[in-house]
Structure formats: C-alpha cells, structure tokens
Chain A
Amino acid sequence: MGSNGDGVSSKKVVFVTVGTTLFDALVRAVDTLEVKQDLYAKGYTHLLIQIGRGSYIPSRSSGGDGSIAVDYFTFSSSIAESLRSASLVISHAGSGSIFETLHLCKPLIVVVNEDLMDNHQVELAEELAERKHLFCARPQTLHQTIVSLNLGSLLPYPPGDAKPVAKLMNRYL
C-alpha cells in the first residue's frame, strides 16, 4: 500500500498465532495459495505464523513479485512484540490471545478450532463478533472472511475493569 515516505515500501504484517498448543488446521488454511493471494490483494506484505507444536510446516517465502512473504516460528517469548508489529492478527480462540490483541487495538480474526472436545471457546469468539470487536471464522471459512474483510466495521474494545469485583469482595469480607 504505497510507501511511507523514506523510500522503503511499507511493511504490513499479518500475524497468525495458534497459542501454547497446536492448531494445524489453521496453519494449513493460512498457507493455502488463495488465502495468501487474498491477503496480498488486501495490501499485506508479510505473513508471520506461530505454529506451536503443530506438525504442519508452512513453506517459507521471501515474497516480492506479486506474492506475500511468509515466515514462521514455533514458540517465542515475545509474542507481544509480534502482535504489536502486526497490522492484522489471525488467532486461535484462546481468551489470552484474544484480549491481548484487542487491548492493542489490532484488527482480529479469530479462527475456532472445531477439533477441540469441550469447545466453549466458540462462545467468547461469537459473543465478541456479535459486538463487532472481531471477526469469527472456521478454518474452512477463513478464505471468505478475508475476501469480505471490512476493518471499518469493527468497534474498539473498551478495556475491562476488575475494580467492581474487587470492591464487592472487600465489602463482603
């Protein structure tokens, strides 16, 4: 999307995170040619994937000539750093990742893992999607979600507050 004035073409990073375990279906969905092309068409230049303990390894690519650059890592102590540098985050449905991203006011697509047994995580993602704080997708619908991506429709998430409950506890004791 143009240059940022000093001659270096601006870098727009999509950061994908699977959290502390694994979510191969998400990594595989992101690594498809159509998703990568869609992201590039939307102006994103770099795709950084945190794959966790997953066994599916995406193909690295240095990008250029009409394709997105792809890189991946397994785990890192500086996930926050990657989140901060991202222009779009595609995340698993863990509440930790969701709120860390929302607090940084980054556009977020949450991909629900349907292979999990007790899948209560859908509840949170769908509730926040209904309130227009993020987009909610499945691995097989991620492609459509990206095609119809309209970041302008998202509302900022007002940070929560633990003071009311702390006050209630104090009053109770």
Chain B
Amino acid sequence: MSLPTNPQSEQSTTVSRTVTHDAERRATWNPQSARSTSVSRREFLGSLSAGSLVLMGKLAHGQAGLTVPGAVDVDAFAPDYFVSLAPSGEVTILAHRSEMGTGIRTSLPRVVADELEADWARVVIRQAVGDRQLGDQNTDGSNSIRFFFERMRVAGATARTMLERAAAERWGVDASLCFAELHQVKQRGSDKSLSFGELVEAASKLSVPTEAELKLKPRDKWRYIGKDAPITDLDDIVTGKAIFGIDARMDKQLFAVIARPPVVGGQVKKYDDTAAKAIAGVVAVVELPHFHEAPNFQPLGGIAVCANSTWAAWQGRDALEIEWDDGANASYDTDEFAKKLAAVARKPGTVLRATGKATEVIANSKKVHHADYSVPHLAHAPMETPCAVADVKTDAAGKVLSCHVVAATQNPQAVQQAVGRAMDLQPADVLVDVTLLGSGFGRKSKPDYCVEAAMLSRELKRPVHVTWTREDDLQHDYYHAISAIHCEAALDEQGLPQAWLQRAAYPTIGSTFSIGAKLPATWEAEMGNTDLPFDIEHLSLEVAEAESHVRIGWLRSVCHIQQNFAVSSFADELAHLAGRDPLEYLLELLGPDTRRLDMAAAKLGNRGASNEEYPYDIGRLKNVLRRAADRADWKRAASLPRGKGLGIACARSFLGYTGHVIEVDVSPKGQVSIARVWISLDSGTIVSPDRVMAQLQGASVMAATQALYGKLSFKNGRAQQTNYDSYRVATMKDAPREIHIDIVDSHAAPSGVGETGIASFAPALCNAIFAATGKRIRNLPLADHDLSWSS
C-alpha cells in the first residue's frame, strides 16, 4: 500500500462530514463509565430533549502556534464549541481537549460554567470526538488554557446573556435589570427569580448575541476561575472505574500485540508463524506494511498477532520467528553519534539570530570561555503504553465503509487524518472517541498505534485492540532528540560576556515528517537557544545539521530540555569564573527590569502568540528568579558546607516564566539527594491553582528523572533499554524531598504551565551539584558520572 507522505497535501481538505450513522457506528463501543462517555456533535444535538438550549460560540480564527508545522491540519477554525441546557436546567459542557493528567477536562468547563453562572454541581462534562469544527484539539504544547480561555468565557457568557434576556422578556423589564447568579436569573431591585430550567425554552428562541454584545464578568466576580475543585474524574480514578485506552472494549474485539522492525525503516524479510499460531487463543497473524517515505504517523510495519486476550497475543508475538531487513539505520550507535554531534556543534553553523560581531569579538578576545553540553535521546514512557481499538467495516470488495477508533490520544483530529489516509476515507469520516490517557507527554499526539488498529480491523473484519508492551514503547518511540550544544563567550575584565555564541546540533522533529530534514527548525531553536534573554551586545545563535536514524518526536518541554540546560549551565560557569554570586550575575546578564526582548528584530515566532499580549518580559523573568531566591534564602549559598549546594536557573518556556533554586546533598560517595526545590512560576492568569501546583510537582519529578537517569541509547540501530529496569525513572525515593511552589498572582494573559516547569530544573540541579562538589556536569544524565568527593 502507498500512503501519502506530505501532511500538508491534505490541508485544504473540504469537510463534508457524514455523521448520520454515528450512532450505528458507535454501537459496539461499550463505555463502562458514564463519565468517560464521549459524544459526537451531531449525536450530542440529537440526544437533547425538545426545548433544550444549545449554543454555538462563534469563534475567531485560531492561533497558529502548533507544535509541528504541517503535521496536523488545523488551519481552519470553524465556529464551535457547545454548552447546552436541558429543560431540567442541567448544563452539559463539551470537553474537547484530552485529559492526560493536567485537569483540562475540568478546567476549561469550569471557565464556561463561571461565565454562565452555572451551579457546578449541575454541570455534566462530556468528552467530544475528534472534529475539526471544534477548533484545535491537539492537547499539546501547553496550549489548552491559552488557546481556549477567552473562547470558553464567550461560550458561557453567550448562554448567560440569552437566559438573562429571556427573563427580561418574561418580566417585561429591560435586560440590564436581569442578572444570572448560580443557576438562576434574578431581577435587580426585586425578589423575583427564575431558574435556568424555567428559562431554557424561551432562551432557545432568541437570536444568539454577537460577541460585542456580551459583557464578560469582571475578575473579582469570578466564581470558579482561579479557585480549586476536584477533577471531574477523581471518583472514577480512585475506584478503578476510569476508562483509559487500554481499557476500551468493543464487542467481539481481538487483542493484538505486534512485532515491529527493531530498526526504524527496517522490514520483514521472511517470517514463520507456526509456533505463534499454535499458542492457545491466537486467532490470526497479519503482516503490516512498513512505512513509505518519512515515518510521519504511519505504523512501523511488522507482524501482528491477534488473539482472544492480550496475553495470548503477546505469547504469540514472542513465538514468531522473523528475519528482518534492517535497512539504512542498522549501524546507528549513539556513542559514536554523540561524538559526531559534538564535533559538528564546534564548527560554524547556520546563524539564526545575530547581533554585533560575536565571532570576531570572540576571536580577538583575551579571555574566552567555552563549553560543550549534551543530552541523550529520551523516551516518553507514559504509564499507559500506546493503546487503541478500531472497528472498520468494509464492503465485499474491501472498500472501507466506516471506521471508528477509540483511543488514548492527545490529538483525535490527527487520528482522523492518519487513519483516514490509511483507510482511504476523508478525515471527517473517521469517528474518533477519546478515552482518558494514562499520561502522554507528547507520545500520544502521534497516532501510529491507531492506524495499526484500523489496519488490523480492516483485515480481520472485526474490532481489534492494539496494546503496546512496555518493551514496544521504549524500543519504538518517537524519541526526544540526542543533542550537542557548544557555547562560547568572550569575557571583559569583570568577567561579563561581551559576546556569546551558542550552537545546537540535534536531529530535528522535522525529519519525522520529511526525508532529509537535518537542520533544527526555528521553532525548535527558539526553545532555549535563539530566545537567549541575556543583554549582550554581540550574539551568534546558531544551529547545525544532524541526521536522524530514529523517529524524533516532541517530549514534554521539547528542546528546552537540552537548550536551557546548556544556557543556564554556561551562565553559571561564567559567574563562577568571574568569582561572582550566580544570582547577582544572572540578574545583571538579564539587563534592566524594563527590558523586553525585541521579538520581531530577533525573528522569533513566540509560539504564534502576539508579541503585544505575550511579550518576552525580562522584568517578569527576573521577578520569578528573585522570588525563588528569596524563598530559598539564597544568601546562604556561599557558606554551605561541602557536599551541600544551592543552584539557580530561570527560563521562559511555553510563554511562562520560571525561577528555580535547588538544594542538593551529595554524599562523599557521590550519592545525589535532591533535598529541596523552590520554584516560582509566572504563567499569567491561572484557572486551576491546585492543578498548576500538581503540574509543577510533576514537572520536578520528570525533570529529575531526565537529569538523574534519562538516557535511551542505540547499538546496531536497536534501542538498548527495554523496560523500566534499564530505562530508569524517578521513584518516590529519588524525587525531590520538598517542593516549594510559588505562583505569581498575575492578571496577564494565560500562558503554558504543563511543560513550563521543566526547563530550568536540570540546570539548577547541576549548578547545585557544582556548588556542592566542584564538579561541573555538562553531559547528562548524572548517573553516568562519578560525583564522589573528599574534603
């Protein structure tokens, strides 16, 4: 089979969605929990009783700040999200972003409910299917609140305004006298009130107000925004009723486990399935096509064993005898590749941002400092491996009639596109239900596993559920890129940099989508390299080419992982060289508090956000740095005993600002204990403070994992780590003992949170280790280093 490989070729697809058969197509999907029920828009409308009020918020054109340009078609934002009121007064809010642990399935509906003045106890949340008319559903890039905060307010305010107007008509008074309050509309200066339910029918007959007619609630009247509530799935989670992708079931489904080529781009030469078929419970063995051109979201290919249980399929898979043709990546060796990358990063590269004459100044300077940093490949390793079930119906000739996928996916529209392409269907004709996700971290934005399920279902003419084993997950991931970053600075007599050069080399995410892409994209470079915030006259911020031998993907915090590690470590090195306090030195490097990075002059994309609404505000960055330092009592840093150290770093990532101070204890034998972490965050307006705290706690643990253990290596093109025993992740005993979180009370526009807490963690940790031991860590992970010391 041949699959189109240019994702952009489908961007202009006309949506002619045939949803009339949704109910029929969904008939085999048996959600075991009402809360996990998802619903298509048409079905949603159809299920409402007569007299229900359904409102369609009119949406402006959406932001363009997508994680992967061209990978997913989201350019057209039709009008679209829904809040409905039943005649009983029950409010239903459609959650269209995926819940993978951020609380978004609760937070965005809370924004709607707030503006609506709904009683939260009378709100039901339903999960939307993939539907481009809902706007961006790619739950990725820390974008959910930023993209949809205002839009959800408009949805709620639209409904509220119509209810208020209906009450005004009923009472024969001016609408300005009517106001909604907790599921009632009241009349000013009287004790009259009507419940939302009593007003639904009348409101549904009014015309929908324009956005200009709406009066959004002032901040001091917010009822739910900025206040905490338990996540909507909490009871189901603690009782085991929550349905994740691995739990999705369709009638008569088979369970599949797949042997994929151990080397990316490899394919099956020949195979023997005799032993596999002899395993009790094994029903079928199916060869899957290998991908064509760039990997994109196509399956890797291989041999699938389908059985009546996961275990039988797994046993069958392991019993296959397969001879592989490994292909062009068979010699990939990350030890060798890391050396090549480091060499490339030391040679002149492609300059993406330059001011002054950095190269000349450095060449002529009496005092130059340089350093090379590296971070290995990392795997996402979400607790729930990629899992999906698909039901594909075909006619006698094999033409696909319908396709229904139920998946743990961060991006149901990408599932529609990838599965649609493979099934020869329009994306809009692929019905995608979204379960809860057992975390994602970017892995579940890539729907190769959904395509596998659809291909197998089409072949076997019954629903097929694909489960990736942990070994599959670690060996066939879309990996975070291995990287090398070279830094140089020319220093004046005070030890301050007059010129700063930084060059990053790593395989680009673009290589997953187009063959031959070798240069990091500008948006990748902007995550900690070209957005260098320091006030330095001569800058040369560069990238260098790197080949890709595996599928490269985006992992929580993406290129900030390596680039902020390099920047903030190098700044700390310079501070120590100058004999300066690292905090004071950093504050001086950042320049005046009133400074703003000139984004246009620097040709920075700012994640698609407007530079007016989301300026790169040095004052905010310095503020979080100072706040973290104050809370950590930074002034004790210089007088700590050997073996104990404080490290500091700051970052702007996903438009939010973080300052980190980390206190470590390093035993004489070199055992690292992350005793305390202070993090100050300024991400503008906050919807759910407790979930933001949870994200920052979680980011600390994930960043600790990356710094302590993160390393996925390859030999002969094969991933060397196979499970959590060899790909170690932090457990409770490795996690920071104390995490002190400080959230700046800000009225600024909401920025990212989920990924923001990662960027400045690893450098702060390594800076603390330097302070404690005198050992400068330039190559992660820490597990590769001997940190022992003697006094």
Q: Does A pair with B?
A: no
Could you tell me which B residues sit within 8 Å of A by CB distance? Answer: none
Could you tell me which A residues sit within 8 Å of B by CB distance? Answer: none
